[in-house]
Amino acid sequence: MLYIAIKLIHILSVFIYAGFLFTDNLILMRMQKSLSDEEYAKVRGYFGAFTKALVPKALIIAVLSGIYLFSVNFGTMSQEGLSNFQILLLIKAFLGLWLGLRGVLQVFFKIDPLLFKSHRFPFLLALSIIILSQLMWSV
């Protein structure tokens, strides 16, 4: 029962974080083309104020619950080495930890990322993680 609860919490927190990235990259960027600079700045301000309270916490919950799910699902290595499932899970975990570290450093310690300052790259990583999460169960 604990596993199911943590998995549900993980899915919901990933949904919040990925939804933020989706909105920022696909909706707000398109709004910039049709709004004046002043209107766009207002919209970005409202969006930023709302998401600052929720998204960083969701990201931390996603990373912590992901670490637990990783520890439960990884299993043991066989004599032949890592299975395809374990390889994809390791890639997914690395990308998730990178996103989590980047988010924590940026939001809580005010350290801007040296590379990939926009949300495009995290958006692509989040999509990759979601795709990997579906692929790893079928390989």
Average confidence score pLDDT of the chain:
88
> Whole-model pTM?
0.83
> What is the mean pLDDT of the segment spanning 117-138?
86
Angle at 89 between CA 101 and CA 73, to 5 degrees: 105
Cα–Cα distance for residue pair 134/139, rounded to 1 Å: 10
Classify residue 126 as exposed, middle or buried by CB count within 10 Å of its CB (0-12, 13-18, 19+): buried
Tokens of 12: 């919901």
pLDDT attached to residue 96: 93
Packing angle, helices 2-22 and 37-73, rounded to 10:
150
pLDDT attached to residue 44: 87
3-class DSSP state for residue 76? Answer: coil
- Contacts (Cβ under 8 Å, ≥6 apart) of 75: 83, 86
Cα–Cα distance for residue pair 92/136, rounded to 1 Å: 9
Tokens 């969701």 -> residue:
58
